[in-house]
Amino acid sequence: MSKSIKFVQGNEACVEGALYAGLDFYAGYPITPSTEIAELLSDRLPRSGGKFIQMEDEIASLCAIIGASLTGRKVMTATSGPGFSLMQEALGYAVMAEIPCVIVDVQRGGPSTGIPTHGSQGDVNQARWGTHGDHAIIAMTASNHQDVFAVTVEAFNLAETYRTPVILLFDEVVGHMRERLVIPEAGEIPLVDRLRTSVKEGVDYHPYLPREDGRLPMSDFGSVHRYNVTGLYHDMWGFPSSEPQDIHALLHHLVDKLENRTNLIARYQEYYLEDADYLMISYGSAARSALHVVENRRLRGEKFGLLELQTLWPFPHDIVREKCARAKFVVVVELNMGQILREVKLAVDQPQKVFLANRIDGVFITPADIVNIIRLIQGKGV
Amino acid sequence: MSKSIKFVQGNEACVEGALYAGLDFYAGYPITPSTEIAELLSDRLPRSGGKFIQMEDEIASLCAIIGASLTGRKVMTATSGPGFSLMQEALGYAVMAEIPCVIVDVQRGGPSTGIPTHGSQGDVNQARWGTHGDHAIIAMTASNHQDVFAVTVEAFNLAETYRTPVILLFDEVVGHMRERLVIPEAGEIPLVDRLRTSVKEGVDYHPYLPREDGRLPMSDFGSVHRYNVTGLYHDMWGFPSSEPQDIHALLHHLVDKLENRTNLIARYQEYYLEDADYLMISYGSAARSALHVVENRRLRGEKFGLLELQTLWPFPHDIVREKCARAKFVVVVELNMGQILREVKLAVDQPQKVFLANRIDGVFITPADIVNIIRLIQGKGV
Amino acid sequence: MSKSIKFVQGNEACVEGALYAGLDFYAGYPITPSTEIAELLSDRLPRSGGKFIQMEDEIASLCAIIGASLTGRKVMTATSGPGFSLMQEALGYAVMAEIPCVIVDVQRGGPSTGIPTHGSQGDVNQARWGTHGDHAIIAMTASNHQDVFAVTVEAFNLAETYRTPVILLFDEVVGHMRERLVIPEAGEIPLVDRLRTSVKEGVDYHPYLPREDGRLPMSDFGSVHRYNVTGLYHDMWGFPSSEPQDIHALLHHLVDKLENRTNLIARYQEYYLEDADYLMISYGSAARSALHVVENRRLRGEKFGLLELQTLWPFPHDIVREKCARAKFVVVVELNMGQILREVKLAVDQPQKVFLANRIDGVFITPADIVNIIRLIQGKGV
Amino acid sequence: MSKSIKFVQGNEACVEGALYAGLDFYAGYPITPSTEIAELLSDRLPRSGGKFIQMEDEIASLCAIIGASLTGRKVMTATSGPGFSLMQEALGYAVMAEIPCVIVDVQRGGPSTGIPTHGSQGDVNQARWGTHGDHAIIAMTASNHQDVFAVTVEAFNLAETYRTPVILLFDEVVGHMRERLVIPEAGEIPLVDRLRTSVKEGVDYHPYLPREDGRLPMSDFGSVHRYNVTGLYHDMWGFPSSEPQDIHALLHHLVDKLENRTNLIARYQEYYLEDADYLMISYGSAARSALHVVENRRLRGEKFGLLELQTLWPFPHDIVREKCARAKFVVVVELNMGQILREVKLAVDQPQKVFLANRIDGVFITPADIVNIIRLIQGKGV
């Protein structure tokens, strides 16, 4: 693959990133505003030797990629809110069985069928808490197409590194907007391949016995080793266990493998933070307007800064606390009723200085919307 | 129905509460540890003129009671974690279409199939955030069978009052433990019946036109009025709309009808709070051990108190903040990795004084477990 | 003595340090886990012209070295908890009569005979308060053999400088663990020799008349000067006095000569303190596990730091307060029920942010033990 | 015994209390200022059928009463600082083997032989920390003869109730001062007798198996049951164990049986505390002068109050914190360099408002001494 420049939708940037990362199996069911991803891959994937399959619904789609991943493939599915809700049970299975896979949710307005053709960032907390039981998850997002490409590649890398589902939480605005994308040459972004066991055929393979570095090598299912995969708590052979010490150890393994590496996994962009008195935190399409405000204020000599989060989960509490330490106030800009706002409040030392600038009516938030809200925060009224 | 005394499991106390409240349609799919609810109702419900139907899965179960509710029935389904995950898409529909219904989740250890026969409180945040998009929800729980009965009745009353799904978040310990239950006489606990429209046949009925008090009268679907029901954003006739002002108004209506009444909806028990220096906050089975600790410490002259939450969502922030104001530290006791802990930290003025006493290995937390954790919190070591 | 490298137990490192410092008289009674010190010295000391004597018990042992010190020798005894308890009366005498001497307590589990073959740090407060009456004392410790050597040399230097008993509070883990030790060449570490009076024979010598710098020159007892030595309050000739001003002056002299020099006497190691948000304070063997935790957390980007105390008494309050000033929390790691914890709480401005990570069952505290306790302190539960 | 009124020394009040409480075995070695206790008992005890024995030293004295206690006697010894230092090893044995016994320390000026004929309160911390290893202890004191009598009776009751040594920390001023003492009639103060096992001869008796209420019944040693008594960590038969869980459990038993009952064991007197703005905390003879100051200030309308501690260990942290909560400042009045001052600082929420009024030169502190120090605390200078 040589470097090329395209003018594409965000959904296509995601497709390009997935292919760059080595995607070779996709299963899905179309839903606005994610459909272009399936549409493009139905053409592109078979050309490069991969498999595309349209399933009967979203449950089947996620189950299909879980199975394919176990056999050694790099896999992805894409959907929007209602489909993502249907995937919650299988998502928990992928967490428990430690299946590398990438799930794209191009967010539209919810709840329920909501408002299919308009953007939103309303599924952020669902990505964290949508399946039952304690667990950890990785979720990433981006505000522009170059970053959509990059975080998509990163999503595959993280899925393989940590044997975990990774969620890409894009939104309709980014998904459908067209913008320049430079596709890096092969090798420019390092890829993480499946970590396969070095255990030979005929020798016992323990699918859930960590190496010294905590990683769990896999063996292509159906190949030379027989082993058990289950959504129940299990031991190092994958066999169900209800021993308290096994449950405690496995749950902590599932959570700690991600949350103890929060600072390493965290991906974010900083704009003018070094001396910022007024800090904005945003992500996805909303960060575009937030950045616009910050740059305008800097022109006026006002010390605004922007922290654009690209990793939403595990939430980078330490980084946010540190960046917010000297800010006079913090404004979280997002297209929902304050979902990341909650995390910022939990992270910082002075939650009362954190405010929300948002829009929830399906219309994209503008710099003017944000400025109006900042006036109110500064006590200047409407 | 006359007053009677029984020695029953918590699941049966729930059944008794539902029948007392007027349940007349139940659809479900059995899953440990909730199965006794279906089992008992398959016998009891037909005897009192109600309908019991076992569906092919949990998606169908929730859809069935949504439909039955629209025709004017008081409805319920019961499940555990994996089934609750499958219900998330239809749950969002019930929120958007404002369907009165009661969903019982008798929690077992998750994620995924997890540990079916052991207790947990791991689905608390899923009950709040499991479906996509911003929304509000009511979720309740109880620590003993008399309260299981009472909150079940209350769940039906709130579902009818606010046209909303209500989730009962019990746990395996309460569900399977046997304890004395006194069933009140008919009329002792007031019941809220379906608010039916006073609009006559042949006159336009607006299913989503609020009365002055904010409530929305219903008309039995399939009866005298024709109207539209949808998961899309809609106007007062129920017809889809993508007008920003309609979206903004409907989302605020869905959220505000519950969250603006948080203090009214909140149900909780207080133990020794008036002069408590050390405050425990707990709910469900865990609150039993917390209460034991508090009573033991009071015997030693130490000012411990317990706030037992019965309404988990909408989270009673104001009440928690007020109760915690004078506490030297606050210990949240729960059977998960700290889900209500997050809300308590968000509610109080000094989040750094809030700690977690928990157990996550499928074993019930004992007073001794809590005491050991309190020692550490008090800086006294092991 | 030329530089050499050995692979030795901590007890042998102490022996090497004592010999390097100029030890020439040892009296003791063997007790686990300190016995190797006596055993090695019974061989080494006579070879270098010193005297080794095994006494009938620990009381006699301390009394013997007090006498030998008065005659001008550098002296030491070693014991463990039960023997140290027996020494308390004579220790007070050494304080009052200002006798330079070094007492090693290789701590095992107490109280009473306790658990002789397992480590503990349970005698820290006894070292401070074990003898009756107000007084000051120097007590030092170390976590590795190079430091065991160094603080042993320092103990002799301080004993001579301040005419005081110095206690070396090692623990069984350090005492019995084998590790590399590089013995410095002669002269590499400066030694403090006995300060002998310049008063000539036949001229009045005042054993308790301070020089301008506060130091009290000694005259080898039994040599050219006659003078009185007593455990009673006394004047500059050493004769008993019950005059209030003499009592007040002597008690203040005994206390102030050490406590007014706390910052000079204090010896400690810092690890990553400059920007630490989370501070651990530890000493002796426990500090090894604490350092392991700190280094692991730094790899994860979490700002942990360690203050390893080597001087325990006089407790370096000013240094601890300053190092703790910016920490979000402070964890004292020690093998007892929180003895240094008390001092840290007394030293810092916010005692409620100081916690204890400990182990008291005879098993060495591991990094995993500390991490589990930190989770609870951070409010994250088990 | 009928009620009678005497004019006696404090040491004699202690003797009367011990006899009232049922003392029947005393062993001791005379030392100023406690000697009157031995002298009086050598006459009184044999008359009432008890045994008095003068031993060769203080170590033997404590060991003798430990043995006698095991055979079923109520036992006591008395000494002063130097003798108390010699007892530290056997004291730890009594803690570990859970021997009911009462040890009187009539404090004189220390360290070492110090100032034998003058009062002091310098052994307070030694009573807590003098023996090696973590443990708990009870120590009590009093400021007047009626209370000396009462706390002496209480000391025997607590020793029997908790199978523990109890230390009576009187001071020379109280011990030698003469004052009126009314001896209550027999039965007026309830006595706690030895709790003997109900296990019959020939049936296994477990000397360290707690009853449901936590108490350990005893069997007179040398009588019908054979069992092991040791200073090593041990199991319920008294046999040595080095199992970590046994060590952890026994150490916590030894500590918790007292410290978890701190509020119950605590004995104190309150003077004008209900509305006190300026709080004095004192104990023993020093409390007499403190009370004098408080009463004088009340006559001038200044809201001074006094908390007189009679139980020093376990230190009543909760009670002190609560009593100090509203005080503008707290002055600890004691005859040492601030030993209880440390505990008060650890107990209260604002340690910086706690000050020390003391005297350390062997002269009793007068009200005028305290008033001069209060002037300085109030910023009024000398």
Q: In Å, how far is D262's CA from the nearest CA of chain B?
A: 8
Out of A120, A131, A248, closest to residue B111 by CB: A131
Cα separation of D67 and C35, whole Å?
30
On whether any CB of chain B is under 8 Å from the CB of A361, the answer is yes
By the 10 Å C-beta count (0-12 exposed, 13-18 middle, 19+ buried), B198 is classed as exposed
DSSP A352: G
Residue B381: the pLDDT is 87
Chain-chain contact of A264 with C301 (C-beta, under 8 angstroms): yes
Burial zone of A263 (CB within 10 Å; 0-12 exposed, 13-18 middle, 19+ buried): middle
| A:C CB pairs within 8 Å | 11
A370: exposed, middle or buried (C-beta count within 10 Å: 0-12, 13-18, 19+)?
buried
Query: For D255, left (φ over 0), alpha (ψ -120 to 50), or beta?
Result: alpha
Q: How far is CA B371 from CA A113, A248, B292, B357, D200, in A?
A: 48, 20, 10, 9, 36
CB contact under 8 A, A244 and B117: no
Mutate to test the interface with C, among D132, D233, D259, D336 (most CBs of C within 10 A): D132
Chain C CB within 8 Å of residue D304 CB = no
A122 φ, ψ to 5°?
A: -85, -5
pLDDT of C1 > 70? The answer is no
Pair D129, C125: CB distance under 8 Å = yes
What are the φ and ψ backbone dihedral angles of A155, each rounded to 5 degrees? -60, -45
Cα nearest neighbour of B377 on chain C: C377
Select from A112, A115, A133 the Cβ nearest to the Cβ of B111.
Answer: A133
Question: pLDDT digits over D331-342, tens only?
Answer: 999 999 999 999
Neighbours of D (≥3 Cβ pairs closer than 8 A)?
B, C
| Digit-coded pLDDT (tens) for C184-210 | 999 999 999 999 999 999 999 999 998
- How far is the alpha carbon of C355 from chain D, nearest alpha carbon, in Å? 14
pLDDT cut 70: percent of chain D above it: 99
Q: Is residue C47 pLDDT above 50, yes or no? A: yes
Let me know: does D336 contact D312? Beta carbons within 8 Å. Answer: no
What is the reported pLDDT for A200? 94
Chain C residues with CB-CB distance to A249 below 8 A: none
Closest CA to B99 of B15, B201, B19, B208: B208
CB contact under 8 A, D134 and C122: yes
Q: Which strands sit side by side in the sheet containing B311-313, from one edge to the other?
A: B51-54, B25-28, B75-79, B101-105, B165-168, B138-140, B311-313
Nearby residues of C21 by Cβ (< 8 Å), 6 or more positions away:
C74, C152, C153, C155, C156, C157, C191
Which residue in D213, D263, D265, D319 has the most chain B C-beta atoms within 10 A of its own C-beta, making it the best mutation to test that interface?
Answer: D263
- Sort B88 into a burial class: Cβ within 10 Å, 0-12 / 13-18 / 19+: buried
First to last CA, chain B: 53
Residue D245 Cα, gap to closest chain B Cα (Å): 12
Quick one: closest CA in B to D251, which residue?
B382
CB contacts of B301 in chain D (<8 Å) are 263-264, 318
Q: What is the 3-state secondary structure (H, E, C) of C88-142?
A: HHHHHHHHHHCCCEEEEEEEEECCCCEEEEEECCCCHHHHHHCCCCCCCCEEECC
- What's the CA gap between C293 and C371, in Å, rounded? 7
| Mean pLDDT for chain B overall | 96
Interface of D with C in 167-226 (CB under 8 A): none
Which of D109, D135, D351 comes nearest C133 by C-beta? D109
**Interval A132-161 mean pLDDT:** 98
Instruction: Report ipTM for this prediction.
Output: 0.96
Q: Tell whether B380 is within 8 A of chain C (Cβ).
A: yes
C133–D114 C-beta distance less than 8 A: yes
The pLDDT tens digits for A266-310 are: 999 999 999 999 999 999 999 999 999 999 999 999 999 999 999
- The residue-averaged pLDDT of D148-159 equals 98
Inspect the interface and report whether the beta carbons of C300 and A264 lie closer than 8 Å.
yes
Alpha-carbon distance values, A242 to A207, B188, D375 (Å): 18, 43, 69
Residues 224-283 (B) with a CB less than 8 A from some CB of A: 230-233, 242, 244-245, 247-248, 251, 254-255
B357 Cβ under 8 Å from any chain C Cβ = yes
B345–C382: do the CB atoms touch at under 8 Å? no
Extract the runs of DSSP E, i.e. beta strands, from B24-156.
25-28, 51-54, 75-79, 101-105, 108-109, 115-119, 138-140
Check: CB of residue B85 under 8 Å from CB of residue B130. yes
D86 Cβ neighbours under 8 A, 6+ residues apart: C86, C88, C89, D57, D58, D59
Distance between C5 CA and the closest CA of chain D, angstroms: 35
Q: What is the rounded end-to-end Cα distance, in angstroms, of chain C?
A: 53
Those residues whose C-beta lies under 8 Å from the C-beta of residue D56, and which sit 6 or more positions away, are D29
Q: Are strands C51-54 and C25-28 parallel, antiparallel or unpaired?
A: parallel
Does any CB of chain B come closer than 8 Å to the CB of residue D318? yes
pLDDT for A1 equals 47
pLDDT in tens, chain B (382 residues): 456 999 999 999 999 999 999 999 999 999 999 999 999 999 999 999 999 999 999 999 999 999 999 999 999 999 999 999 999 999 999 999 999 999 999 999 999 999 999 999 999 999 999 999 999 999 999 999 999 999 999 999 999 999 999 999 999 999 999 999 999 999 999 999 999 999 999 999 999 998 878 889 999 999 999 999 999 999 999 999 999 999 999 999 999 999 999 999 999 999 999 999 999 999 999 999 999 999 999 998 889 999 999 999 999 999 999 999 999 999 999 999 999 999 999 999 999 999 999 999 999 999 999 999 999 988 888 8
Among left, alpha and beta (phi > 0; psi -120 to 50; other), residue C157 is alpha
Chains with ≥3 Cβ pairs under 8 A against A? B, C
Determine the pLDDT at residue B382.
86
Band of residue C315 on the pLDDT scale cut at 50, 70, 90: very high
Per residue in A20-48, pLDDT (tens digit) is: 999 999 999 999 999 999 999 999 999 99
Calculate mean pLDDT across residues C135-145: 98
CB atoms within 10 A of CB C372: 17
How confident is the model over C55-74, as pLDDT tens digits?
999 999 999 999 999 999 99
Q: Do C381 and B337 touch (CB under 8 A)?
A: yes
Compute φ and ψ for A255, nearest 5 degrees.
-80, -45
Q: Evaluate whether C6 touches C181 at the Cβ level (below 8 Å).
A: yes
D325 interfaces chain B, CB cutoff of 8 Å: no
Tokens 């004579």 found at? C90
Is the Cβ pair C110, D120 closer than 8 Å? no
Instruction: State the pairing for strand pair B178-183/B4-9.
Output: antiparallel
Q: In this complex, do B382 and D260 lie within 8 Å of one another by their Cβ atoms?
A: no
Collect all residues of chain A within an 8 Å Cβ-Cβ radius of residue C350. none
Q: CB C338 to CB B376 under 8 A? A: no
| List of chains touching B (3+ CB pairs within 8 A) | A, C, D
C115 touches chain D (CB under 8 A): yes
Question: Distance, in angstroms, between B280 CA and closest chain C CA?
Answer: 13
CB contact under 8 A, A244 and B116: no
pLDDT value at position C3? 67
Q: What is the pLDDT of residues B332-357, one digit of tens each?
A: 999 999 999 999 999 999 999 999 99
> What pLDDT score was predicted for residue C63?
98
Q: How far apart are CA A17 and CA A1, in angstroms?
A: 12
Which chain C residues have a beta carbon less than 8 Å from that of D93? 112-113
Q: Which residues of C touch D116 (CB under 8 A)?
A: 232
Check A247 against B360: CB less than 8 A apart. Answer: yes
Beta carbons of C373 and B382 less than 8 Å apart: yes
Contact D264 B382 (CB under 8 A): no
| Chain B contact present for D376, CB below 8 A | no
- What is the least distance, in Å, from the CA of A244 to any CA of chain B? 5
Strands (E), chain A: 4-9, 25-28, 51-54, 75-79, 101-109, 115-119, 138-140, 165-171, 178-183, 268-271, 278-282, 304-309, 311-313, 329-334, 354-358
- Judging by DSSP bridges, how do beta strands B115-119 and B108-109 pair with one another? antiparallel
Q: What gap in Å lies between CA B83 and CA B112, rounded to an integer?
A: 10
Give the mean pLDDT of chain A: 96
**Do B300 and D264 lie within an 8 Å CB cutoff?**
yes
Q: Which one, of A103, A61, A53, lies nearest residue A78 by Cα?
A: A103
Q: Is A179 exposed, middle or buried (0-12, 13-18, 19+ CB in 10 A)?
A: middle
Q: Residue A262: its chain C contacts at CB < 8 A?
A: 300
- DSSP per residue, B286-344: HHHHHHHHHHHHHHTT--EEEEEESEEES--HHHHHHHHTT-SEEEEEESSSSHHHHHH
Burial of residue B6 (CB within 10 Å: 0-12, 13-18, 19+) is: middle
To which residue do tokens 């390092």 refer?
A: A190
Taking only the tens place, the pLDDT of each residue in A76-96 is 999 999 999 999 999 999 999
Q: Give the mean model confidence (pLDDT) for residues D295-299.
A: 96
pLDDT grade, residue A2 (50/70/90)? low
- Nearest-neighbour CA in chain B from A352: distance (Å): 9
Average pLDDT (D199-205) is 92
- SS3 for A135? coil
Instruction: Give pLDDT tens digits for D303-339.
Output: 999 999 999 999 999 999 999 999 999 999 999 999 9
Q: Rounded CA gap, B199 and B217, in Å?
A: 9
**Residue to substitute from D63, D112, D348, interface C, most C β-carbons within 10 A:** D112
Pairing mode, if any, of strands C278-282 and D101-105? unpaired
Average pLDDT, chain D: 95
Nearest chain A residue to B120, by CA: A133
CB contact under 8 A, D130 and C130: yes
Return the SS3 of A105: strand
pLDDT, position B3: 67
Place of tokens 């050694």: A72
Task: Give the predicted TM-score (pTM) of the model.
Answer: 0.86
pLDDT for D84: 98
Q: What token pair was written down for C340?
A: 């240094």
Record: contact D231-C339, CB cut-off 8 A? no
Inter-chain touch C131–D254, beta carbons under 8 Å: no
Closest alpha carbon to D232 in C118, C127, C177: C118
Predicted local confidence at residue A3, as pLDDT:
67
Kindly give, in sequence order, each residue whose CB lies less than 8 Å from that of residue B139, ignoring residues fewer than 6 positions away. Answer: B124, B127, B128, B166, B167, B168, B169, B311, B312, B313
- CB-based touch B/A (3+ pairs, under 8 A): yes
